[in-house]
Structure 1
Amino acid sequence: MVCRESDGASSAQGPVRTRQAGRAGRGSGADRARPGWAGGGVRGGVAEDARLDGPGRQGRGRQGPAQRAAAGGLGWRRDRGGDLAAVHRPQLSSVAPRPGHRPLYEGLGTAQLRGHRRPPRRHLRPGPRRRRLSPHHDDVVEVLETFVRRRAPAARHNDDAPTLGRPRRLPDRPEADVQAALTALGARSHRPERRILDLNELHLRRARIPAADLQNVNLEGVDLEDTNLENANLRHANLAGARLDRADLKDARLAGTRLERATLVDADLAGALMPRANLVRANLEGARQAGVNLYSADLEGADLEGADLEGADLGAAYLEGAILLGVNLARASLVYARLAGVDLVSARLEGAKLGRARMEGANLWGVNLEGANLEGANLEGANLHGVFGQSEQEIRAVARVDERTRF
Structure 2
Amino acid sequence: MISATRQILLAAVGGFALLTGAAFAARTYYLSQRGQLTDRYTKAIGLLGSDKLTERIGGVYALEHLMIESEREHDTVVEVLAAFVRDQTAFSTPDEGHQEAESGNEIDIWLVQPRTDVQAALTVLGRRPRRPERSRLVDLSQADLTGADLANLHLDDVWFWGAKLQSARLQGARLKGANFSGADLRDAKLTHASMQGAWLYGAQLQEAVLMGAKLQGATLASIFLDLDGVG
What whole-Å deviation, never above 9, does each CA across 1:72-129 have from its counterpart, x for those lacking one? Answer: xxxxxxxxxxxxxxxxxxxxxxxxxxxxxxxxxxxxxxxxxxxxxxxxxxxxxxxxxx
1:251 aligns to 2:192 (yes or no): yes
2:143, 2:124 → 1: CA distance? 17
1:138 to 54, 75, 98: 75
Matches within 5 A, 1:174-189: 174-189=114-129
Which segment is superposed worse, 142-151 or 179-188? 142-151
Q: Structure 2: where are the runs of 5+ without partners?
A: 1-67, 99-111
1:193, 1:154 → 2: CA distance? 28
2:91, 2:159 → 1: CA distance? 15
In structure 1, what is the equivalent of residue 23 of structure 2?
none
2:84, 2:211 → 1: CA distance? 33
Letter in 1 for 2:118: V
Matches within 5 A, 1:184-195: 184-195=124-135
Letter in 2 for 1:149: R
Query: How far 1:261 sits from its partner (Å)?
Result: 1.0
1:190, 1:151 → 2: CA distance? 26
CA contact (8 A) 2:86 2:142 kept: no
Larger Rg: 1
In structure 1, what is the equivalent of residue 210 of structure 2?
269
Q: Structure 1: where are the runs of 5+ without partners?
A: 1-130, 156-167, 290-407
In structure 2, what is the equivalent of residue 235 of structure 1?
176
What whole-Å deviation, never above 9, does each CA across 1:289-345 have from its counterpart, x for those lacking one? Answer: 4xxxxxxxxxxxxxxxxxxxxxxxxxxxxxxxxxxxxxxxxxxxxxxxxxxxxxxxx
Query: How far 1:132 sits from its partner (Å)?
Result: 7.6
State the structure with bigger RCO (CA 8 A, min sep 6), 1 or 2. 2
Matches within 5 A, 1:22-37: none
What whole-Å deviation, never above 9, does each CA across 1:240-277 have from its counterpart, x for those lacking one? Answer: 11111111101001111110111111111111100111
Letter in 1 for 2:74: H
In structure 1, what is the equivalent of residue 87 of structure 2?
150
2:89, 2:143 → 1: CA distance? 6
Q: CA RMSD in A?
A: 1.9
What whole-Å deviation, never above 9, does each CA across 1:10-40 have from its counterpart, x for those lacking one? Answer: xxxxxxxxxxxxxxxxxxxxxxxxxxxxxxx
What SS is found at the alignment partner of 2:72?
Answer: coil
Matches within 5 A, 1:3-402: 134-154=71-91, 168-169=93-94, 171=98, 172-196=112-136, 197-285=138-226, 286-289=228-231
1:183, 1:132 → 2: CA distance? 18
1:275, 1:182 → 2: CA distance? 26
Q: 1:262 to 1:184 in 2, by over 3 A?
A: same
1:204, 1:178 → 2: CA distance? 9
CA contact (8 A) 2:197 2:215 kept: yes
What SS is found at the alignment partner of 2:113?
Answer: coil
CA contact (8 A) 2:151 2:173 kept: yes
Where has structure 1 moved over 2 Å in runs of 4 or more? 131-135, 168-172, 286-289
1:147, 1:132 → 2: CA distance? 21
Query: How far 1:133 sits from its partner (Å)?
Result: 6.5
What whole-Å deviation, never above 9, does each CA across 1:190-240 have from its counterpart, x for those lacking one? Answer: 222134111101111000011111111111110000000111111111101
What SS is found at the alignment partner of 1:145?
Answer: helix
CA contact (8 A) 2:144 2:164 kept: yes
Query: How far 1:142 sits from its partner (Å)?
Result: 1.4
In structure 2, what is the equivalent of residue 96 of structure 1?
none
Letter in 1 for 2:218: A
Query: How far 1:135 sits from its partner (Å)?
Result: 2.4
Letter in 1 for 2:177: H
1:153, 1:271 → 2: CA distance? 31
Letter in 2 for 1:264: L
- Could you state the TM-score of these two structures normalised by the residue count of structure 1? 0.34
What SS is found at the alignment partner of 2:71?
Answer: coil
Aligned identity (percent) is: 37
- Could you state the TM-score of these two structures normalised by the residue count of structure 2? 0.59
In structure 2, what is the equivalent of residue 93 of structure 1?
none
2:180, 2:196 → 1: CA distance? 12
2:224, 2:199 → 1: CA distance? 13
